[in-house]
Amino acid sequence: MFVPVECSPPSFKDFTLIMPAISVGNVGQLATDLIISTLNMPAVGYIHTDCLIPMVGNNPYASSPENSDELSTNAEVYSLADMKLAVLQIRAPIIQTKYKQFRKLIFSWIKASEFSRVVLLSSSYAYQRDDRQIHGTPLRYLFTPAMQTIIGDRLQDLQWKEMERIAAFPGISNSEQRLYIPGGGVTKALYTDSCSEGIPLAVLLTFCSEGDNIPDAFALVNYLNEWLHLVEKPCNVALLWKIPCSWKLLFGSGIPPALF
């Protein structure tokens, strides 16, 4: 259930929704952090659900001591009305027995809010790629039929690579081709459900491994920006995205000097 910050709920009609999948390396969540931080998006509400592991923390996008003590939850919604853009940031894993319930909740909110399109940022294990996926860019996309109708041929100039289907039985060339996204969490299920329910959804993902996934996050958000043009490229590409203050402790607080 969506709970607005203000008394009157915001309108998301014809907005674009961007959200991450809880997937390998947390790449989708890191990329979503960059979008919210760079665009300075205000929080407009949160998703109240028992499908996610409970959590609360300080403001991950604090810009001053005055707003650093604001609380953040496991699923918050940010929005910019002038860009017709909404972002759902998910900060906690989905409880294993409630995957299906979580998908139903998200789809119910998407339909009720009348979003014009949904973009899911995700990732997949690099070590489980097949031979065709090893060469070239690690970035892939998937469009539902409803999204393909909206997009048409406008992405041909970008020369993006669609996520390959692989044989259900490797080595047997005439076996059934299937969509395989290991490490992608609910990515495949959300995509499949969106196809059957006619929701315009795009999946943008990258192959990666666990570790320092900050470069993967930058690659994925740049991939998204090629299409949606969320920010204009400055002369110095390094200044394109604003790193949130919460990333300072991404790998812990460092080694205590007292140990030495």
* Exposure letters 231-258 (e unless 16+ CB within 10 A, then b): beeeeeeeebbbbbebeeeeeeeeeeee
Q: How far apart, in whole angstroms, are the C-alpha atoms of residue 7 and residue 17?
A: 22
**pLDDT 10s digits, 118-155:** 999 999 999 998 888 888 899 999 999 999 998 887 77
Overall domain count for the chain: 1
**Residue 24 · residue 217 · CB < 8 Å:** no
Domain housing 23: 11-259
Task: Say which CATH number the domain at 33 has.
Answer: 3.40.50.10900
Q: Does 68 fall in a domain?
A: yes
Q: Does 236 fall in a domain?
A: yes
**pLDDT 10s digits, 94-106:** 999 999 999 999 9
pLDDT band at 202 (very low <50, low <70, confident <90, very high): very high
The amino acid occupying position 107 is F
Say whether pTM exceeds 0.75: yes
Secondary structure of residue 58 in the 3-state scheme = strand
Q: Does 133 fall in a domain?
A: yes
Q: Does 3 fall in a domain?
A: no
Mean local confidence (pLDDT), 237-250: 81
